[in-house]
Each structure stands twice: as C-alpha cells, then as structure tokens.
Amino acid sequence: MTVDLCGIPLRHPILNGSGTFDAIAARRAFGDALLDEFPFSAFVSKTITPEPRAGNPPPRLWETPAGMINSIGLPNKGLDGFLARDLPELAELPVPLIVSVMATSREQFARLVGALAARDEVAAVELNVSCPNVESGLVVGESPEETRALLAELRPLTEKPLIVKLTPNVPTPAPIAVAAQEGGADAVSLINTLRAAAIDPATGAPWLGAERGGLSGPAVRAIALNQVREVAAAVEIAVIGMGGVARGRHAADLLAAGATAVAVGTENFRDPAAGTRIASELDKAA
Ligand code: RRO
C-alpha cells in the first residue's frame, strides 16, 4: 500500500503525529534496530520554535478514560539548536523528514520556513497553527483569514510541501482547510488535541501546571473521523488524518473518510512499535 504524499513517495500510509515519538531517544534505546524496522513511512518532528523554550510547568500529563491530556508547552532547542543538534540525527532515519514549526508572528514563521527550505534533509514542513498549550493569545489556525495570510507569506519561500496542522477547537475546520488551500498549502493534517482540563482530586485545583491542556487518544477518534470527512470533502489537497488511531481498522476508517495518509499519536506512548503493527494490520485488511 504505497502512497504519494504531495510528491513524496511513502512505503505505507502510516506516519507519526508530531511530538508523539522521540526518534532520537528511541534510537538511543533500541539502537540501529530502530532503523531496520522504522515504524513510520515518514517522520514528523516535534514542533520547533524560533527561540528555545522550556515548556510548561509540571505536571504535564493526565490520563482520562480512553485518552490523555497533555500540556507540554513546546519545549524545544529553538531553530539554531534544532539545525545543529537534532537535524543531523533525524537525517539518518530511513524515511523522509517532515519538520513541524510554530511561531507567534508571520515574520518568525518565515524565518523558520526560510531556514528549513535551504536544507536537503527536510522533505516537507508542517505549520503547527493549532497548538492548544501556548499563551500567545492568538491561535492562527482558528481564523481562515489569518491562515490564508500566513500561507500567502510563506508559500513563496519554498518549493517543499507545506502542510497545515489544523485545530479541532473550532465549530468546523473545513473553512480553515479551504483557506490553507487557497493560500497555497499542499496538505492539511488533523486533528490536533481538543482543549481539556483535569482537577486534582486531593485539592480541587487544576492538575496541570498550565491549568489546561489538549485531549488525545481513543476518546477523540470519532471526532477526528468526522472532521477528516468534512475537510476531505471540502479540499482537493492531501489530507493527513489522525486522532485516536490504535489499530489498522482505525487507519482504514480515516482513509475511507478521504485521508491520503494517517498518523499515529497517543498509541506510540503505549507501544513504540505501533506504527509497524498498524501498517501491517492495514495491509492485511486491504
Ligand atoms: O507541546 C505541546 O504542548 C503540544 C503541541 Br506544540 C501541540 O501541537 N499539541 C499538543 O497537544 N501539545
């Protein structure tokens, strides 16, 4: 079941969701065995920002029935740290590399995309306009106008595919996806996590250090399926579907809903080989 994702040939349709699989740590843990049987047909990096970030105060995770709330808050080395330290290691992976980026202004997004455009190791760039866990006040991906304007500014900077990661925290994501397409995006990916909170039963206060976070896992699967269907019906560009995928059947459902490829997220924390298993289950079902 090979796939063409915006001109990038993939061995199978299963990717990782950004931030849900640390390939550098996994290589340290599993050695070169990781490269012999890499779980995903392309690797999507954790989101990077122009400057280093420490991330949100702990606790950062809460388990829910059939899901998980995270409030990680984008800890990363910043653009220069990523290029110097992470990119050389990620370039050794046996699959195309998609780098996820986030910034709080169009100029800063342009700095990130411009720098990555110059790197042969990078196959595509994912624009994370949907992180629920930062205090910028503006979630670009909640506004079609902002999304279109951002793409119009970034599109001339690179011929590499630009993927827009959509938020589920809007009444319907289709108008945002259409705006991304009109601005020149090559693909959209969805869903990011749903805004959520948890209370510490001992104190009655918010459990998460940042007070709220984003819900993922099987709990969100039916929402993801509906949003992927709506978006795939509204755009001609490729759709990368994700949300609670834990088995081949779930991936098949998202492909039937119109996705070109499917990403695995929360399930990677439970089973680091989930990508390989899900790709093989999907293959057997086909
Ligand atoms: O780092 C995070 O807290 C985070 C990000 Br950037 C995102 O896009 N989605 C999410 O659930 N967490």
Q: Give the CATH number, domain containing residue 214.
A: 3.20.20.70
What SS3 state is found at 101? strand
What DSSP string describes 263-281? Answer: EE-THHHH-TTHHHHHHHH
CA dist 83 and 275 (Å) reads: 26
Positive or negative, the CA dihedral 77, 15, 169, 125 is positive
Query: Which of 193, 195, 208, 211 for mutating ligand 1's site (highest number of atoms within 8 Å of CB)?
Result: 193
**Structural domain count of the chain:** 1
Report helix, strand and coil shares of the chain as percent, to nearest 5: 35, 20, 45
Q: Which atom of ligand 1 is nearest to the CA of 46?
A: 6
Number of Cβ within 10 Å of residue 156's Cβ equals: 10
Whose structure tokens read 């829910």?
A: 64
6 is catalytic: no
CB distance 74 to ligand 1 below 6 Å: yes
Residue-number span of the structural domain to which 173 is assigned: 3-285
Q: What is the pTM of this model?
A: 0.97
Measured in Å, residue 119 CA sits from the centre of ligand 1 at: 25
Tens of pLDDT along the chain (286 residues) come to 899 999 999 999 999 999 999 999 999 999 999 999 999 999 999 999 999 999 999 999 999 999 999 999 999 999 999 999 999 999 999 999 999 999 999 999 999 999 999 999 999 999 999 877 665 556 789 999 999 999 999 999 999 999 999 999 999 999 999 999 999 999 999 999 999 999 999 999 999 999 999 999 999 999 999 999 999 999 999 999 999 999 999 999 999 999 999 999 999 999 999 999 999 999 998 7
CB distance 268 to ligand 1 below 6 Å: no
